[in-house]
Amino acid sequence: MSVQEQLFWAPLAWLDGRWQARVLMAVDARGHWASFEAGRAAPASAEILAGPVLPSLVDAHSHAFQRAFAGLAERRGENGAGDEDDFWSWRDRMYGLALKIRPDQLRAIAAQLYLELLKGGYTQVCEFHYLQHREDGSAYPGDGLTLSWALADAAADVGLGLTLLPVLYAHAGFAQPALRPDQRRFATDADWVWRAARAVNAAGRPLLNAGVALHSLRAAHAGDLRALQALVGEADLPIHIHIAEQQQEIADCLAATGRRPMQYLCEAFRPDARWQLVHATHSVPDEIEAVAASGAGVVICPGTEGNLGDGLCDLPAWLRAGVPMSLGSDSHVTRAWVEELRWLEYGQRLGLQRRNVAADPGRAPSSAARLFEACRAGSARPAGLAAWGLAPGARADFLVLERGASGLLGLPADSLLDGLVFASQGQAWEAVYVGGRPALVQGRHAQEARIAADFAACMAELWGKD
C-alpha cells in the first residue's frame, strides 16, 4: 500500500453484479478505487465498515428549482389548474415559480435537494439547467452564469458531485419562432450553451463538470441542434435532451416533421453514446432499435412520470435491446433511487398485470438486481465520467447499508437488494461516502440543520405561508 492509499473492509460488497463476502477495497490518492479483493480478512490498517456496501447511483436528470414546487401542484381546480389537469397545466403553474426565484433562493433550494439526494443514495447529480437569467429575462452581470454558480455552490455545500448541463431553449413549440413571455428566463442559443459549459469545465472546482443539453425538439429546432453539434464536435461530454415524454409531443413532432421524436432525432441528427434521451416514455419498436444502434442511453424518471401522468415506458423492450439506462428524479417529488426502482417495476406490473417484469430468468432472476445493475452500469455516461460503481478507476463513492433497517432485518445476504427495493421503508444507509470521504455519518450531514433552516426560510419567502 502506498503512503497515500486508503483501505476499507466490508463484510459484504456488491462487486461485478453480485454480493461478495469479506471485501478489501483500496482507494488511491485521487479518491478513486484502486483495487478490490474478496475473501480477505480485515488488515489492521483498514477502516472496518459497519455493514454491506453498495455502489451509489447517479441521478441523471434534475431540475433543482422544482424542489420548491414539490407537493404544491396536487389539487385540481385550484391555483391556476383547470378542471382538466395534465402535464401542460402543471407546466404553466411551475413557470410561476421559475419567474420569481433569486440566486440566493436557488442555492438554498438546491442545497436542501442535494442533501436529500445524498440521503436517497445518489452521490452525483446531472442538473438539466434552464433557469438562466434575471426575472425580467435580462442577463446577469459578468459571465451571466450567476444561477449556475448558485447550483455549484449548493453542491459544494453538501459534498455531492454535480454535472451541470446548460440548456439550449429557444422556441415555445415546433412552429414557434421564439419563446413565450413566461419562458423569458430560459432563453439561450447554441453559442450561449457552449460558452457556459466551457466556463464551468474551466473553473476546476472539485466534483464539478459540465456537458450540454437541448430542452426538447420543440424548444430546439433543427438549426439550433445542428449549431450546438458543430460547436461540441467530437468533445467527450454528455449531451442530454427531453424526448417523447408526452403524447402531444408525438403528435406535434409528426405534424412538423412527419416522424416521431426518437425516429426524427436518430435519422436527422445521428446521436451517439454521448447522448442521453430523457424520459423516452412513448416509443415504437423501430425507435428502440434505432436508439440501441446509436449507442445513446435513456434516462427514466418513474416518480415524476407517475406524478405528471406521462405514461409507462416499454421497459421490457429497452432491457431486451440493451440500451444503457439510468434514473432521474426530475421534478423531485421522489428523491431516492430505491423508490424510483420500485416505481419503475411496479408501474410495469400494474400495466402488464404480471410480476417481476424486469427479471430475466436463468440470467438475472431478481428484478431489483437487474434494474439496479442496469442503472449502475448506465450511470457514468450521463455524468460525463469514465466509470461508475465498485470498479477500479471509478470515484470511490459508496453506501453502507444498515442491516437493522426496515426491510433488511433478518434477510439472507443474497436477498438484501430485493428487500431494499421492495420491502424497505425510510433511509437504509448507515453512511454515504464520496471520493473515499464520509458525506453522511449515521445518516446525518454536518450542515443538515443550517441547510434545512435556509430552505424553510426560502419557502416562506416564496409562498408567503408558515
Catalytic residue (one of 330, 397, 418, 454) = 330
**CA distance between the termini of the chain:** 55
Nearest to 373 by CA among 386, 355, 385, 391: 391
Cell representation of residue 247: 403524447
Provide the CA 270 distance to its chain's centre, in angstroms: 24
Number of alpha carbons in the 13 Å side-chain half-sphere of residue 97: 24
User: What are the grid coordinates assigned to 453, written together?
Assistant: 433552516
Calpha distance 389→373 (Å, rounded): 10
Active site residue 330: yes
Other residues' Cβ atoms within 10 Å of the Cβ of residue 145: 21
Q: Report d(CA 391, CA 316) in Å as an integer.
A: 27
Residue whose C-alpha cell is 453539434: 229
Apex 260 CA angle, 303 and 360, nearest 5? 50
CA 44 from chain center: how many Å?
Answer: 38
Whether residue 349 contacts residue 357, with contact meaning beta carbons closer than 8 Å, is answered with yes
Report the distance separating Cα 166 and Cα 296, nearest Å: 19
Asked about 279 being catalytic, the answer comes back as yes
Residue 117's SS3 state is helix
> How far is it, in rounded angstroms, from Cα 440 to Cα 181?
42
Helix (H) / strand (E) containing 279? strand 275-279
Q: Which of 129, 215, 221, 279 is catalytic?
A: 279
Alpha carbon dihedral 440, 441, 444, 446, in 10-degree steps, equals: -80
Query: How far is Cα 353 from Cα 347, in angstroms, rounded to an integer?
Result: 10
What 3-state DSSP class applies to 184?
helix
Residues with a catalytic annotation lie at: 279, 330
